[in-house]
Amino acid sequence: MADTIFSKIISGEIPSHKVYEDDLVLAFLDIGPLAPGHTLVIPKEPAQTLDQLSDESAAAIGRLLPRLCRAVQTVTGCREYNVLQNNGPGAHQAVFHVHFHIIPKPSEDAGLGIRWPAGKVEDGAEMAKRISEAVTTS
Ligand code: 5GP
């Protein structure tokens, strides 16, 4: 996988405001925060999208996320927040190294804005069956 800005942050080649680090995970402040405290959580493993991430790195991030969310809540005083994870340019991914955003939602105007054009479930039974079968082979 090609080097990204995040692999350079992991190696220390590019500076960041680090908030957490262990063998598998790094968390640091987003350079363009949607609200104060906007934090990025990344695996050190250089996977481009979440579906490519190993179970080991996924487990390490999953274990940490709630703790990092609590820390962001404590420091910003903001109870409400979004956790966002984009995969692919069409889904607003700009840096092709897996990352989770923790974005405080201090007010209606700050933090993450979401367009949510909800539709209606069609062929739900068939879709659920097919996905459930795919889970076993994925
Ligand atoms: P994406 O759209 O890929 O989910 O989000 C990438 C995020 O990385 C953006 O929120 C952007 O502000 C952040 N970002 C891009 N370059 C840098 C950088 O050099 N340092 C830090 N700390 N964040 C960055």
Q: Check if 38 is active-site.
A: no
Q: Is 48 in the pocket of ligand 1 (CB under 6 A)?
A: no
Query: Residue 17: its pLDDT value, please?
Result: 98
Confidence of residue 77 (pLDDT cuts 50, 70, 90): very high
Question: Average of pLDDT values for 54-80?
Answer: 98
- The domain in which residue 54 lies consists of 5-137
Query: Residue 66: its pLDDT value, please?
Result: 98
Q: Please state the domain count of the chain.
A: 1
Q: What percentage of residues in the chain have a pLDDT greater than 90?
A: 97
Q: Taking the chain, what is the end-to-end CA distance rounded to the nearest angstrom?
A: 21
- Closest-CA residue, ligand 1 atom 15, reads 31
Pair of tokens at residue 88? 């692919």
Which of 17, 30, 93 for a ligand 1 pocket mutation test, highest count of atoms within 8 Å of Cβ? 30
Question: Average of pLDDT values for 53-63?
Answer: 98
Question: Average of pLDDT values for 35-56?
Answer: 98
Query: Residue 85: its pLDDT value, please?
Result: 98
CATH number at residue 104: 3.30.428.10
Three-class secondary structure of residue 101 per DSSP: strand
Using the atom order of ligand 1, give the atom closest to the CA of residue 14. Answer: 19
Distance 110 CA to ligand 1 centre (A): 17
Query: Residue 1: its pLDDT value, please?
Result: 67
Model-level pTM?
0.97
Taking alpha carbons only, the member of 13, 44, 11, 52 closest to residue 27 is 44
